[in-house]
């Protein structure tokens, strides 16, 4: 048994799984550009983690830029690619609320984590890892008692908020590679 047996992996979406559109929203499947190495990383994670879940704020819905159906189409297309390459994602959770609404379900609030626990009662947050690229992702992880992995530059969030970041990697692929070692 490896050290992550029974662990749950929570993943942010934009900037971690797909390229972030700065100042814009991914509203069509062709705009969802998977970051290099992500499909291979998800295949690796599938052999390590009991559950792999995506948690994503999607205020583009709240702004009327896309519909729930548009988001579902984007995620279905991505999940097909994940499955076709030998990976898996057990669930995708999203919050369509605008940031100013301060929804319980919008990260950094913990609603999506609690919804996932309701769907998968075996989840233990002290045996979970939140992977993200923003302060909100790290707060979400810490507020639920998870370990946190920051994806991105060490000079950003990790240096400003070291108490929120347990590990930092330049990409999801590098994080996955360290698990194999």
CATH number for 45: 3.40.50.1000
**What does the pLDDT read at residue 1?**
40
Provide the pLDDT for residue 155.
73
pLDDT digits (tens, 9 = 90+) for 52-72: 999 999 999 999 999 999 999
Is residue 161 helix, strand or coil? coil
The per-residue pLDDT for 4 is: 77
Q: Which among 169, 130, 159 is positioned nearest to 51, based on CA atoms?
A: 130
When pLDDT is averaged across residues 167-172 and rounded to a whole number, the result is: 95
The rounded distance, in Å, linking the Cα atoms of 50 and 91 is: 12
In tens, the pLDDT along 71-115 reads 999 999 999 999 999 999 999 999 999 999 999 999 999 999 999
- Give the pLDDT band (50/70/90) at residue 134: very high
Please check whether residue 1 lies inside any domain of the structure. Answer: no
169 lies in some domain = yes
What total number of domains does the chain contain?
A: 1
Q: How far apart are CA 106 and CA 6, in angstroms?
A: 26
Which of 14, 24, 70, 177 is catalytic? The answer is 14
Q: Give residue 2's pLDDT.
A: 60
Residue 3 lies in a domain: no
User: Which string of b and e fits 10-29 if b means at least 16 CB within 10 Å?
Assistant: bbbbbbbbbebeeeebbbee
12-58 pLDDT per residue, tens: 999 999 999 988 999 999 999 999 999 999 999 999 999 999 999 99
The contacts found for 103-112 with CB under 8 angstroms, 24 or more apart, are 106/57, 106/59, 107/12, 107/55, 107/57, 107/132, 107/136, 107/137, 107/139, 107/140, 108/135, 108/136, 108/137, 108/138, 108/139, 108/140, 108/143, 109/140, 109/143, 110/140, 110/143, 110/144, 112/55, 112/140
pLDDT, residue 7, reads 96
Is 14 annotated as catalytic? yes
pTM here?
A: 0.96
pLDDT of 75 reads 98
- Catalytic residue selected from 12, 36, 70, 119: 12
Annotation marks residue 70 as catalytic: no
- In a domain? residue 73: yes
Beta strands in the chain (DSSP E): 8-11, 51-57, 91-95, 128-132, 147-151, 167-169
Q: Which domain holds residue 83?
A: 8-180
In a domain, 2, yes or no: no
Average pLDDT over residues 127-132: 98
Computed over every residue of the chain, the mean pLDDT equals: 94
Q: Using CA atoms, how far apart are residues 131 and 150, in angstroms rounded to an integer?
A: 6
Residues in a beta bridge with 147: 129
């Amino acid at each position: 048994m490896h050290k992550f047996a029974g662990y749950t992996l929570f993943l942010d979406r934009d900037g971690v799984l797909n390229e972030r559109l700065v100042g814009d929203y991914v509203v069509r499947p062709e705009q969802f550009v998977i970051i290099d190495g992500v499909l291979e990383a998800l295949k690796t994670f599938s052999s390590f983690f009991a559950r792999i879940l995506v948690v994503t704020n999607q205020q583009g819905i709240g702004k009327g830029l896309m519909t729930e159906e548009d988001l579902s189409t984007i995620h279905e297309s991505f999940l097909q690619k994940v499955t076709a390459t030998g990976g898996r994602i057990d669930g995708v959770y999203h919050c369509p609320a605008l940031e100013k609404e301060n929804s319980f379900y919008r990260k950094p609030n913990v609603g999506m984590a609690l919804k996932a626990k309701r769907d998968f009662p075996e989840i233990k947050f002290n045996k979970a890892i939140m992977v993200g690229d923003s302060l909100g992702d790290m707060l979400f992880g810490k507020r639920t008692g998870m370990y946190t992995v920051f994806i991105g530059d060490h000079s950003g969030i990790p240096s400003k908020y070291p108490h929120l970041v347990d590990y930092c990697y330049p990409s999801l692929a590098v994080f996955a590679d360290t698990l194999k070692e």
